[in-house]
Amino acid sequence: MRIFQILAVAVASPFFCAASDYMDSVLTNLQGVGLEIRQLNIQSDVFELTYDDVEKQALKSLEDFDVRLLSSMELDVMPGQPYLEVAIDVAHVQGPSHLYMVKLELREMAQLERPKDRTVSMSLATWERKMMGVANRPEKITEELDSLLRMFSDEFHTHNMDE
């Protein structure tokens, strides 16, 4: 039985190493990002969080965490056109409690190969993190967004130290 466990680890190891190498390299040589805030999905009459609040927090955090924000002109000519997409969903549960989900994705244009020498370009998520929980105040949502942007910044700087 022990032989089978060792064999399984030996066979699976190259797969996990390749996956790990891929994940480690996703942010390498990324010079900066654009930013897109999706329309907020807030299903509550008492939870006051606006698009402007979210955009202001995201821009401030990117600046504080030293992640270069690309202009729309730079983004158009940057390989892959990398941009961070923020999505926020909030639903009133009971009393002051609201369920929330804050998602941050790095999206990039990729070309998919198709038969007969055709390619299709589409935006794909190459990095993603999300946080879910219960909030009693809108500031909790912007704090979670700040945490996600810090995670992105930490990984971004780890893989781009020489630049």
pLDDT in tens, 27-50: 788 889 999 999 999 998 888 899
Q: Identify which of 57, 51, 120 has the alpha carbon closest to the alpha carbon of residue 90.
A: 51
Residue given tokens 């390498």 in the structure block: 28
Please check whether residue 163 lies inside any domain of the structure.
no
96: domain range? 2-158
Q: What is the 3-state secondary structure (H, E, C) of 38-103?
A: CCCEEECCCCCCCHHHHHHHHHHHHHHCCCCECCHHHHHHCCCCCEEEEEEEEEEEECCEEEEEEE
Domain count for the chain: 1
Which SS3 state, helix, strand or coil, does residue 27 take?
A: coil
The DSSP 8-state label assigned to residue 115 in this structure reads: T
pLDDT digits (tens, 9 = 90+) for 114-145: 777 777 788 889 999 999 999 999 999 999 99
Please check whether residue 23 lies inside any domain of the structure.
yes
Q: Is the pTM of this model over 0.85?
A: no
Question: CB-hemisphere CA count at 13 Å for 65?
Answer: 24
Please check whether residue 52 lies inside any domain of the structure.
yes
